[in-house]
Amino acid sequence: MSRVYARQPLRRAAVATLAAALAATGLLVTAPTAQAAPPTPVSASTARTYLGQLAVRAEGSSSGYSREAFPHWITQYGTCNTREVVLHRDGTGVEQDAGCAAVAGRWYSEYDGATWTVASDLDIDHVVPLAEAWRSGANAWTTSDRRAFANDLTRPQLIAVTDNVNQAKGDQDPAEWMPSRTTYRCTYARMWVHVKHHWGLSVDTAEKTALQSTLNAC
């Protein structure tokens, strides 16, 4: 059963007041119906095939890594950056102001089953974390490639989730962290493999074993 959280009532009231004021002036943009989910990952069967094609090697060093090596969030169109596009896509009833910021909506966090109504309570998770990608081969990429990876809306690489859950995940791979919602773990493994396969990233032995176990149970 999902839980509805409402952090900081005063902030929510202020957001609601702002939304009402913007609506009255015609500056509030109501987003069209969203799919409320990232792009669908490959099937479990295809993911198992992809996993078998990934290079298996020990994780590389984090030396030289920084989040700035993966420029994000970039402008996608108009005044909308990648974060706002994902919030729009993954939410329902999302309303955006003239600057594309989400000022109303409802978001279900697939990782932990929580429902949020304030956009600032959500992070946009990189399913394959940036630091993990760096250690798996992205250290050799160009900045342009790393920018494309960090803002990839075509693959299931970005998802709006509870902020502190994303922060607890950090840069861990599936051998170290999986969503607490066990019913989402199959989807998560499919997403992870889909992204790594497309971007040509490697897996380590423990990571591959954890993914195989999850995919075999799908």
Largest pairwise CA distance in the chain: 58
Q: For residue 88, give Cα distances in angstroms to 67, 74, 92, 95, 166.
A: 24, 15, 8, 8, 18
d(CA 31, CA 93): 7
Q: Please report, to the nearest 10 degrees, the dihedral formed by the alpha carbons of residues 67, 99, 9, 160 taken in order.
A: -40
Does the pTM surpass 0.95? The reply is: no
Domain ranges of the chain: 30-92+123-216
User: How many residues are listed for the chain in this entry?
Assistant: 218
Cα separation, 126 vs 77, whole angstroms = 20
Residue 53 has pLDDT above 60, yes or no: yes
> What is the C-alpha to C-alpha distance for residues 152 and 150, in angstroms, rounded to an integer?
6
**Per residue in 118-162, pLDDT tens?**
999 999 999 999 999 999 999 999 999 999 999 999 999 999 999
Instruction: Please give the distance of CA 111 from its chain centroid, rounded to a whole number.
Output: 10
pLDDT value at 195 more than 90: yes
pLDDT at position 36? 82
| DSSP state at residue 116 | E
| Cα–Cα distance, 192 to 211 (Å, whole number) | 9
